[in-house]
């Protein structure tokens, strides 16, 4: 059974905004799926549809075979959700919050506490277990939110911008936890983020969203071959022969190549024509490069 299926899933908000536009996609169990796109692309709306917080305007979706808007409590029993603004109680301590959310999912206090302590340990929050949430930093809150989402051992995690507002070290922490969960527990992860660079480090497959539409999906290799973009070689050269590359402001050049085997000849050509080479490196197109190629947009996504 698929962990998630979406069939021509669409959502039009009351004001007429089509936030999700005929998205069809399925996720196998155990995948770490990156659902990517800039703000406004329709990611959060999709997560809400998958959790039964919103009903589809057209099309359908299911999570482990269950229709979320008809059986939200059944979907919630199988899933953990981390959103940008986690709802937890400021006046309760870390462990008290986890015990409370354990009870919401029907766990007894002893079991919630045991699971809660394990999760706090894994997320490096043990020292703060008796500290009230009000005194937690953003990074600590986000990690506690992840612990809360995991308290009932869900089979799928929906993570909506889980590292937004985190410093790089806390973001790394959250990423290692996601990797570990998928490797050790086979948990399926649906990760929404506009930080394409981060996603590239942890996901097994990607869906690229733009203005509500799924414009491409696949592994990084599949997406790279889809845009037919090969390698790029990056060079820093003074006095670059003008027939080899256009002049740039800071003497750096990016040229397309088919494979690394072309580099020695290129270097010889440049040096032979009087160019002075300071730096050479090759790179494959990143998810950002792929996204911008497919959407025709050049500007950077906010990081
Ligand atoms: N409750 C709402 N009512 C009307 N429009 C909304 C609502 N929520 C989101 N939108 C609009 O739907 C589009 C998709 O939003 P969202 O799903 O939040 O995207 P993302 O999570 O990718 O940033 C945006 O244009 C947003 O302004
Ligand atoms: Mg969002």
Distance, in Å, from the CA atom of 118 to the CA atom of 80, rounded to the nearest integer, reads 17
Least confident of 11-20, 92-101, 205-214, 227-236: 227-236
| pLDDT band with cut points at 50, 70 and 90 for residue 299 | low
pLDDT per residue over 18-47, tens digit each?
999 999 999 999 999 999 999 999 999 999
Quote the pLDDT of residue 87: 80
What mean pLDDT do residues 145-150 have? 94
Question: Of 129 and 84, which is predicted with more confidence?
Answer: 129
Residue 293 has pLDDT above 50, yes or no: yes
Neighbours of ion ligand 2 (CB under 5 A): 43-44
Question: What mean pLDDT is predicted for residues 171-191?
Answer: 89
Q: What span, in angstroms and rounded, lies between the C-alpha atoms of 58 and 301?
A: 30
Give residue limits of the domains in the chain: 4-225, 231-283
Instruction: Return the pLDDT at 133.
Output: 96
Question: What is the distance in A from the centroid of ligand 2 to the CA of 230?
Answer: 32
- pLDDT of amino acid 55: 97
Q: Class of the 4-225 domain?
A: alpha beta
Mean pLDDT of 102-126: 93
Task: Give yes or no for residue 99 having a pLDDT over 50.
Answer: yes
208 Cα to the center of ligand 2, angstroms = 14
Determine contact, residues 163/198, Cβ cutoff 8 Å: yes
Calculate mean pLDDT across residues 246-268. 83
Please say whether the beta carbons of 24 and 6 come within 8 A.
Answer: yes
Contacts for 199 with CB less than 8 Å, ≥ 6 apart: 34, 36, 191, 193, 206, 287
Q: Which residue has the higher pLDDT, 246 or 290?
A: 290
Question: What does the mean pLDDT of the chain come to?
Answer: 91
Q: CA-to-CA distance for 213 and 190, rounded, in angstroms? A: 17
For ligand 1, atom 24, the nearest C-alpha belongs to 40
- Provide the whole-model pTM: 0.87
Task: Kindly tell me the burial class for residue 228, based on how many C-beta atoms sit within 10 Å of its own C-beta (0-12, 13-18, 19 or more).
Answer: exposed
pLDDT at 303: 44
Most informative mutation of 23, 34, 42, 193 for ligand 1 (most atoms within 8 A of CB): 42
Distance CA 76, CA 80 (A): 7
Q: What percent of the chain has pLDDT over 70?
A: 95
Distances, alpha carbon 30 to alpha carbons 1, 43, 155, 183, in Å: 12, 20, 9, 8
pLDDT of amino acid 134: 96
Non-local (6+) Cβ contacts of 277 within 8 A are: 235, 236, 237, 267, 270, 271
pLDDT for res 223: 92
- Lowest model confidence (mean pLDDT) among 86-100, 187-201, 225-239, 269-283: 225-239
Quick one: average pLDDT of 58-82? Answer: 96
Cβ atoms within 10 A of the Cβ of 43, count?
25
Closest listed ligand to the CA of 50: 1
- Which position has the higher pLDDT, 88 or 258? 88
**Probe target for ligand 1 pocket from 11, 17, 199, with the most ligand atoms within 8 Å of CB:** 17
pLDDT tens column, 202-219: 999 999 999 999 999 999
Q: Whose CA is nearest to atom 25 of ligand 1?
A: 40
- List the alpha helices (DSSP H) in 123-219: 138-150, 168-185, 196-202
The answer on pLDDT for 229 being more than 70 is no
pLDDT over threshold 70, residue 191 = yes
């Amino acid at each position: 059974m698929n962990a998630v299926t979406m069939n021509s899933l669409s959502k039009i908000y009351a004001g007429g905004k089509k936030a999700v536009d005929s998205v069809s996609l399925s996720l196998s169990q155990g995948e770490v799926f990156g659902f990517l796109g800039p703000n406004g692309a329709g990611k959060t709306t999709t997560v809400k549809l998958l959790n039964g917080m919103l009903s589809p305007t057209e099309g359908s979706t299911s999570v482990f075979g269950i229709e979320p808007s008809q059986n939200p409590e059944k979907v919630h029993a199988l899933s953990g959700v981390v959103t940008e603004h986690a709802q937890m109680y400021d006046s309760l301590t870390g462990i008290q919050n986890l015990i409370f959310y354990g009870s919401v999912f029907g766990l007894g206090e002893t079991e919630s506490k045991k699971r809660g302590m394990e999760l706090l340990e894994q997320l490096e929050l043990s020292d703060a277990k008796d500290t009230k949430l009000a005194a937690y930093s953003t990074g600590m809150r986000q990690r506690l939110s992840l612990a809360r989402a995991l308290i009932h051992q869900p089979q799928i995690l929906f993570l909506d911008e889980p590292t937004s507002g985190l410093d790089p070290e806390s973001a790394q922490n959250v990423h290692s936890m996601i990797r570990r969960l998928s490797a050790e527990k086979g948990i399926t992860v649906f990760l929404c983020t506009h930080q394409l660079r981060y996603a590239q480090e942890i996901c097994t497959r990607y869906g690229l969203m733009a203005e509500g539409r799924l414009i491409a999906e696949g592994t990084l290799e599949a997406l790279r071959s889809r845009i037919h973009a090969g390698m790029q070689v990056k060079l820093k050269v003074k006095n670059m022969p003008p027939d080899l590359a256009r002049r740039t402001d800071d003497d750096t050049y990016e040229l397309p190549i088919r494979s690394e085997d072309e580099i020695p000849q290129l270097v010889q050509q440049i040096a032979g024509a009087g160019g002075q080479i300071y730096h050479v490196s090759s790179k494959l197109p990143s998810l950002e490069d792929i996204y911008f190629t497919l959407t025709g947009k050049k500007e950077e996504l906010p990081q």
